[in-house]
Structure 1
Amino acid sequence: MHVSIAGSLDLAVDRAKDAGCDVFQQFTRNPRGWGYKPLSDDDGALYKKKCATTGLLPVDHMPYLPNLASPKPEIYEKSVQTLTAELDRCGCLGIPYLVTHLGHHLGDGMAGGRARVIKAVNLALESSDAKTMLLLENTAGEKNSVGSSFEHIGAILAGLSQPERIGICFDTCHAFAAGYELRTEEGLAATLAQFDEQVGLSRLKVIHLNDTKGDLGSGLDRHEHIGMGFIGEDGFRRILHNPVFARLPLVCETPVDERRDDRGNIRKVRELAA
């Protein structure tokens, strides 16, 4: 699950361990602002020690404000700077994966948005020597979004100068909302076949395991508790028993409300995977 860094970065590891995680996702800084506090060597050492002691796998997620596809020069420049800095922070903390959204082209066309994403990623990778792999996350097909189709992601990969440093984070809610069927054996097989053809299954590194409040092809990026949305328990049982998904780290970004909390979603995933 995604855990809080309130108080100190290393407390995220404690919270993940306490919740019964094997894998956890976090931000390394306030996700709602551009500014951030630099990491010290002590921050990195303590964080890496806790990860090594617990055996947990950490995944970082980019903050909310950057838009790698933005046609606005100021936002674009700050987005590239943030991506570079986040790769460096992950390197300091020993985090193997950084997940990023590809952004929105804001109405000036998919081709322009894709070109800006390619340039942004290339610039960030050239500026950072961190060993962290950057994971591009598929989007839900909302208006002006970049990366909701496997073809678009494949086109971005084709333009990257260091493709060996790039992987994919596959979000089940986003894929379903973008029109990829995941609930049936036939649909799941067809979706994975399309992904393999356009992107390559070997690039899959992390799964965002989320149910959805929107129906198939709705373009709605609204996460739901595992089994309580349109994908449903039977759909997730098939996903979790599929060998492609079963071998990968799974992160739930599900709600916390009166119906279920993070621990409850972890329990449900393990129940359906049994």
Structure 2
Amino acid sequence: MVQTRSFTAAAAPITLTSSDSHPESSKRRKVASADESEPATKKPAQKKRKKTKDEPLTEDFPVRVSSPWKIGAHVSAAGGVENAVRNAAMVGANAFALFVKSQRKWDSPPLSVGNVDAFKRRMREFGYSPKHVLPHGSYLVNLGNPDEEKRQKPFNCFLDDLQRCEQLGLELYNFHPGSTVGQATKEESIAFIAECINNAHKATKYITIVIENMAGSGNVIGSQFSELKGIIDHVEDKTRVGVCLDTCHAFAAGYDISTKNGWDAILSAFDTEVGPSYLKGLHLNDSKAALGSKKDRHENIGLGHIGISTFRHVVSDPRMQDIPLILETPTFEAIDIWTKEISALNCLSNLVDDVPETELSLVNEITSLVRSHATNKTGKASKTRARKRDATEDQDHDSDCT
């Protein structure tokens, strides 16, 4: 276990909607459109491409590591779903997750033809495969609610997400299964969740619905593999259902993955209780909370109770190849944290033997970045609070004078 800091700020998505946000944007060439006619000159005209908002130049982004382990992050889709592709490329990701609409609202405007076309074009431009993209469902959705009327609204939101994924040509969709809300047995809620999946399958064409394991707090379903299996058992088309394992959630639920033996044991249990063919993705998160705490508290890689050694076992495990491995760790709105974590995980996937010096070095680099950005964010927040306080005091003073 490695504990090197006590910051507890929650994860914030990267918001990069312009290629000019890239650190090396000042070095970029000024280019003209390839299909513009060039005036005749004595010197041969150079072939140039025009960089537009809808057509990013892949050479402007970091070179991504070629690896069978598809490591990435849950990036922002602010300004349009197509921006998620660029944001993933910006941090050197070989996979990514996104929200296909606002996760804070029940209803969102439909995807425009322009959004869909730009997303698909950028997927081709940057060389991302749909099978390495793991969209995340809304946190508002609870398909386990025993109240049919209260379950219908979440289902409509859920189905809308799935249909958006198919519009974008994506193959997977990850969601939190739900809760009994203390008004049903877990077995009853499990049946409701499966019923919603069956109905969603009938209203969609091919999307695979991926159930995420949970930390186990309160009445939440999915902290035990037996509960995930229970949902799958009730699903009619088992070729279109799967599981995403979250390392933080598993640890919080009581599965000790902090050692190589522990990691192998959890996969063995998953294979026995659920089945290896159902594993469709992984969320790579360290844990702020202790083993079995039932608390869903994500921490940066190597800085929590799980420790960096476990993640070396994860990203060098052949069973984790060719599925999306997604970071949901705190970023403090800083692009370089996920860039460093992805780089560190790619480095760990290539280690053959135990190299504690390398692990310690990577943890120190991540720690340094996180501390720096956490301090900056805290400082900015303090200044903002001070400005608001001063403004309030000025208003009170003016009122008194009046």
State the Cα distance separating 1:271 from its structure 2 match: 2.7
User: Aligned residues: percent identity?
Assistant: 36
1:149 has 2:221 as partner: no
Q: Residues of 2 paired with 1:77 and 1:265: CA distance?
A: 39
Give yes or no for the alignment of 1:45 onto 2:117. yes
Q: Which residue of 1 aligns with 2:151?
A: 76
TM-score (normalised: structure 2): 0.65
What letter is aligned with 2:266?
A: T
Q: How does 1:111-130 map to 2 (within 5 A)?
A: 111-129=187-205
Distance 1:191 1:208 in 2: 15
Match status 1:263 vs 2:335: no
Moved more, 19-28 or 252-261: 252-261
2:315 equivalent to 1:243: no
Distance 2:145 2:247 in 1: 25
In 2, distance between residues paired with 1:124 and 1:244?
A: 29
Q: CA deviation at 1:58?
A: 2.4
Range 156-165 or range 259-268, more displaced: 259-268
Confirm or deny that 1:178 pairs with 2:253. Answer: yes
* Mapped partners of 1:103, 1:212: distance in 2: 21
SS in 1 for 2:200: helix
| Equivalent residue runs for 1:148-227 within 5 Å | 148-227=223-302
CA apart distance, 1:265: 1.8
Within 2, Cα distance between the matches of 1:159 and 1:72? 19
Contact 2:216 2:252 in 1 (8 A): yes
Aligned partner of residue 134 in structure 2, secondary structure: strand
CA contact 2:253–2:292 (8 Å) conserved in 1: yes
Please give the secondary structure, in 2, of the residue aligned with 1:238: helix
* Structure whose alpha-carbon radius of gyration is higher: 2
Distance (whole Å) between structure 2 residues aligned to residue 231 and residue 258 of structure 1:
23
List per-residue Cα deviations over 1:194-229 (Å, max 9, x = no partner). 100111111111111111111111111010001111
Q: Is the 8 A contact 1:154 1:198 kept in 2?
A: yes
Instruction: Give the Cα separation in 1 of the matches to 2:333 and 2:173.
Output: 31
Counterpart-to-counterpart distance in 2, 1:234 and 1:20 = 22
Distance, in Å, in 2 between the alignment partners of 1:12 and 1:6 is 8
**Counterpart for residue 87 of structure 2:** 15
Q: Deviations over 1:130-172 (max 9, x none)?
A: x221111111111111011111111111111111111111111
Secondary structure class of the residue paired with 1:202: helix
Contact 2:252 2:292 in 1 (8 A): yes
8 Å Cα contact 2:133-2:324 kept in structure 1: no
Gap regions ≥5 residues in structure 2: 1-72, 351-402
Question: What is the Cα-based RMSD across aligned positions, in Å?
Answer: 1.6
TM-score normalised over the length of structure 1: 0.95
Higher relative contact order (CA 8 A, sep 6+): 2
Q: CA deviation at 1:121?
A: 0.9
Question: Following the alignment from structure 1 to structure 2, what is the Cα–Cα distance between the partners of residues 244 and 8?
Answer: 34
SS at match of 2:245: strand
Partners of 1:182 and 1:239 within 8 A in 2: no
- Tell which deviates more after alignment, 60-69 or 35-44: 35-44
* C-alpha distance 96-181 of structure 1, shift in aligned 2 (>3 A): same
SS at match of 1:99: strand
Contact residue 252 and residue 294 of structure 2 kept, 8 A: yes
In structure 1, the gaps of 5 or more residues are none
Kindly tell me the number of residue pairs found equivalent between the two proteins. 273
Question: C-alpha deviations, 1:29-63, integer Å up to 9, x for none?
Answer: 11101011112333222211110111124221111
Report the Cα distance in structure 1 between the residues aligned to 2:273 and 2:103, rounded to whole angstroms: 31
